[in-house]
Structure 1
């Protein structure tokens, strides 16, 4: 069964529990591994956000820096130049769906929240720029802390290593004044994980859920699926759906995905199977 959590977003609440949520990926970068350059124009980004919401996205995740292997880091100003027009346009378009900002930089997180973002999504779990935790605490913002430990001991059990890393991230959050009740954990599929480890971790999501925090899973179109099937990113949609169902069945709450409709549909089936279906719709 899924544990239930309530995270505060200003005067709203993000409810996490048996009902799964899809987080739609909105990369406004020229070099993301799967959809680089497709939505980095403001009007294209707004259209894509609206489409994902129509398909069932409950959160829109805006990112201005690619974290694919080999990607060049960008400075804070370049990142802001990419995301701020999009955040402003989303607000102007009347989009009220919660927006998360995918960044590890404090200054970017600060300005994004002021522009309307209500969730922080940090791929370094507050460990690259701990001042981002201060920003999260100041605004009492729900924060997704991802595992990305390039120096971990690969001879030790992977769940043990995730716990050790997350304990440090949570300590940074608490020292900044952010409540534990505002934290979501992301195991970081594809980030400093081997091909084999990605699938081992997918099969042990239930152990991560035992840490006592909501869990986000982002296996969408990842290279491990390409290595398994020998297909390009846009041909990994069905495989992504399989990872989504497997993770949901073990207790995960949020599913970060490029292909919202497909993941929303497989989650509807998984939820109906686990908790019973809603009333049948007219055909």
Structure 2
């Protein structure tokens, strides 16, 4: 997978192409804009993991160098461009002094700064770093944000109904949709409004989904009460078996009477 600066540069190039070309027909516009959103989320997730090692200010500086010079660790090119600008300024001032000494009027002509042309950081870095910090602050939701974005962009936005399944309730919480709204705002800053406008509906799908039923775990369950079993009355069949003598009972009774007579 490409690193974060390469993903951001690709999304920015896509946005610039859309601005030059104009509107894109559907459904290609929604699909391409959804891929651009996924790329921004992937880049932000990579940089969110780096915030454990470096602060957000250092991350912003590295991104600025990577997006301008092509190397986030190159700390020598920008000072070199400063010295080049100073050299051009010195040559221009010396040339103007020679014209003035010869009796001509000095004509000041503005010249472009090499450092400003090459090293001007993108304007979207503030929004992007804010998105990265929000992801780092909520890692349990951030790790599932890609699944939420894929369900809403490639299922709900295209008219399918699988995203409504109860199995995806854990991906459709308020926190997921809050981070997704920040991701769309970041995409607007990186790629432009023409790309992000195709995804305005993505952030509103939560309102079209039935609210899941949650169990209130703060309420203790009621204790299970066991009721004693009532003794069932004997049936007529059992009573007949206990009252009526069986076929062997008369013989036994006769032997008992005979024993009593012999004892007497």
What TM-score, normalized by structure 2, do the two folds share?
Answer: 0.24
Relative contact order higher in (CA < 8 Å, ≥ 6 apart): 2
Higher strand share goes to which structure? 1
Rg larger for: 2
Higher helix share goes to which structure? 2
What TM-score, normalized by structure 1, do the two folds share?
Answer: 0.22
